[in-house]
Amino acid sequence: MRDVKICIIGAGSAVFSLDLVRDLCLTKSLWGGTVSFMDINEQRLDAVYNLAKRYATETKADFKFEKSTKREKALQDADFVIDTALVGGHENQEEQRRVAEKHGYYRGIGDVVSDYYSDLGSYHQLRFFIDLAREMEEKCPDAWLLQTSNPVFEGCNLLIRETKIRVIGLCTGFDFGCGVLTDTLGLAKENVLIEAPGFNHMIWMTKFLYKGKIAYPILDEWIEKSAEEYWKDSRNYFLPGEVSPAAVDMYRIFGLFPIGDTVRVGNWWYHTDLETKKKWYGSTGGVDSEVGYPLYLKFLENQLNNVMEVANNPSISVTENFPPKRKYKTAYPNYRRSR
């Protein structure tokens, strides 16, 4: 049996790719395999490629790394393809919002014109998904596609219906959302069991146990006694608002607590204008507002600059800056998501 080949499309998303490389280097069952990076941004591609090689050396992980700006070359004979690409990038998303606003559609109304769910953004992303899958049918027809870039739910349905490629949709927002919730409540993650069924960006916590007992009363007590004080500092729930007033309001309406980006979608009346957004998502109006989104872009820029600084300085230890610890598996051992 040959060693596995993993292809990462959109590998120039340096922070995501480095997180993935870290987890791969800690997975000895995959050692001996090949990781193929592909991106159209050659500068970022080179940075990720060099960081990956250094990370593997420092952790003594056995991997072969490849890079290419050509999709067909990177995909050849792959066993797994991880799609992280966002056509046009985050700045393009903001431009879509500006276009929508010119025509009277305020950003983030039910997430219709927000993020990857604008008609224009979805079109470009879904078209890219189809092009990638068609190329996989030619270059690696037996590979599994792990779809991580949005719109995940719509994209997976499209690919299952229109192509022969085997596809699984993945979103890290679930793990992040559960982590913020349990940290806010002061619960040790190893004693928490959460189940949250649904589909991408619309998932609800149907099971919430702490030390084997139903933990919703702990959440209810926090809302009653601590929420108002917590909400005074909107930095606590800026991204993406897991325990914001909007999240608690959705819980009161639907009887289950929303997880991850479900809170951003919310009800349309959370998104009618900036002042309304501030009421439900804090002083910035949340990550999807005209105030909050530039802050989010700055956060991403700072992360990228940190990665690039390490990449451009071979004397800096990669593992000291990005410790070899799994991002999710050890942090959230009992979180379960179903679709």
Kindly state the DSSP code that residue 116 receives in the 8-state scheme: G
* Average pLDDT score over residue span 185-207: 90
C-alpha distances in Å from residue 269, one per residue of 249, 250, 279: 11, 12, 11
Per-residue pLDDT tens over the stretch 102-124 = 887 777 443 433 444 444 557 88
pLDDT of residue 239: 60
What distance lies between CA 105 and its chain's CA centroid? 26
Count of domains in the chain? 2
pLDDT of residue 236: 66
Instruction: Name, in order, each residue with C-beta under 8 angstroms of 233's C-beta and a sequence gap of 6 or more.
Output: none
Q: Report the chain's mean pLDDT, rounded to a whole number.
A: 86
Domain that holds residue 158: 5-89+116-172
Residue ending a domain, among 172, 190, 219, is 172
Answer yes or no: are the C-beta atoms of 4 and 309 closer than 8 Å.
no
DSSP helix/strand/coil, 306? helix
**Does residue 301 sit within a domain?**
no
C-alpha torsion angle, residues 242, 248, 253, 254 (rounded to 10): 40
More confident call, 235 vs 6: 6
Closest CA to 81 of 41, 154, 132: 132
The answer to whether residues 226 and 152 belong to one domain is no
pLDDT of residue 299: 85
pLDDT at 143 over 80: yes
**Does residue 23 sit within a domain?**
yes
The answer to whether residues 122 and 244 belong to one domain is no
Can you give the CATH number for the domain in which 139 is found? 3.40.50.720
Write the single-letter amino acid at 183.
D
Answer yes or no: are the C-beta atoms of 219 and 226 closer than 8 Å.
no
Closest CA to 148 of 106, 60, 225, 85: 85
Query: If pLDDT is split at 50, 70 and 90, which confidence band does 289 have?
Result: confident
The answer to whether residues 150 and 231 belong to one domain is no
Query: If pLDDT is split at 50, 70 and 90, which confidence band does 127 have?
Result: very high
pLDDT of residue 328: 52
**Does residue 335 sit within a domain?**
no
The answer to whether residues 155 and 168 belong to one domain is yes
Per-residue pLDDT tens over the stretch 312-339 = 899 999 999 889 887 654 344 454 544 4
**Does residue 324 sit within a domain?**
no
Query: Which pTM does this prediction carry?
Result: 0.84
